[in-house]
Amino acid sequence: MDTPPSSPAGDAFARLFPGESIRPVVPADLAAARAYLDSLTKPVGSLGRLEHLAARLWAMAGGARPLAVEPGLMLTVAGDHGIARQAVSPFPQAVTRQMVANFLAGGAAINALCRCNGLELRVVDAGCAGGPFAAHPLLLDRRQGDGTADMSEGPAMSLATCEAALRAGFALARDARERGSRCLGLGEMGIANSTAATALYCALLDLAPDEAAGPGAGAEPAMVARKARLVAQALSVNADAVARGPVESLAALGGFEIAVMCGAMLGAAARGMP
């Protein structure tokens, strides 16, 4: 993994995913890709960001040819947050469940985007309030609970639950690659999850809540200020857990869907899958 073995992140990865590793992109591979692109019959750099992406993708694949990102899989991961009851979003928590039903019915923007771009879509229930959904061909049940606890009053979830969510996400990416997917897309649905994301950014990047908090799904300034105050409270209440490391921070401040997506990103990276 591209982390010193003695770091908290490296130690957690080795413990959670024994036998797995993440190969960093090799600078020599990037240089070789750029040299090849510059040898083509076109002005150097004329394809802009496409060239940067092509070089990164080639390096991720270790130089394997042909370069391919199809077929691609989009995972839209949903989960509810206990802090939603503190009025940090202009929408009620019930909208999470309503949007999952919309995804499954094919009526959301992500459905249209996947259709237009040839992506397979799966909707992952990581822990929406209201119990399990009825079985559906697009639905993957990876529930870790009936929504998290209120992080402004204590940990959002237990460390064991967070680790289970990370492993579930890792397995989703691993299984997708084994079924032939070459590229993984990730998206989320969860009322109040921008509050959890703000808290994690503050904890991991040492940001101030009033600078990091934003409108999320369209909150007015007074609600954003309330969100910032509650994030500060969550950081204070969970200070001991945050000090112990990144996985503990994710358990204290994150969401079921955030933890599953984190695991999926790690799983994709371990398989060299963008």
pLDDT tens for 57-96 read 999 988 888 888 999 999 999 999 999 999 999 999 999 9
For range 6-24, the mean pLDDT: 90
Q: What is the pTM of this model?
A: 0.94
For range 163-183, the mean pLDDT: 97
* pLDDT on residue 158: 98
Residue 107: count of CB within 10 angstroms of its CB: 11
What domains are defined for the chain? 8-60 (no CATH), 72-270 (3.40.50.10210)
Q: Which residues contact 170 (CB under 8 A, 6 or more apart)?
A: 16, 17, 20, 263, 264, 266, 267, 270
Cβ proximity of 247 and 7 under 8 Å: no
pLDDT cut 70: percent of the chain above it: 98
Q: Give the whole-angstrom CA distance, residue 216 versus residue 49.
A: 28
* pLDDT on residue 10: 86
* pLDDT on residue 63: 84
* pLDDT on residue 67: 86
Give whole-number Cα distances, 64 to 22, 33, 35, 53, 81, in Å.
17, 11, 16, 15, 42
pLDDT exceeds 60 at position 190:
yes
For range 179-192, the mean pLDDT: 97
For range 177-181, the mean pLDDT: 97
* pLDDT on residue 6: 64
pLDDT exceeds 90 at position 7:
no
Q: Give the whole-angstrom CA distance, residue 177 versus residue 175.
A: 5
* pLDDT on residue 107: 98
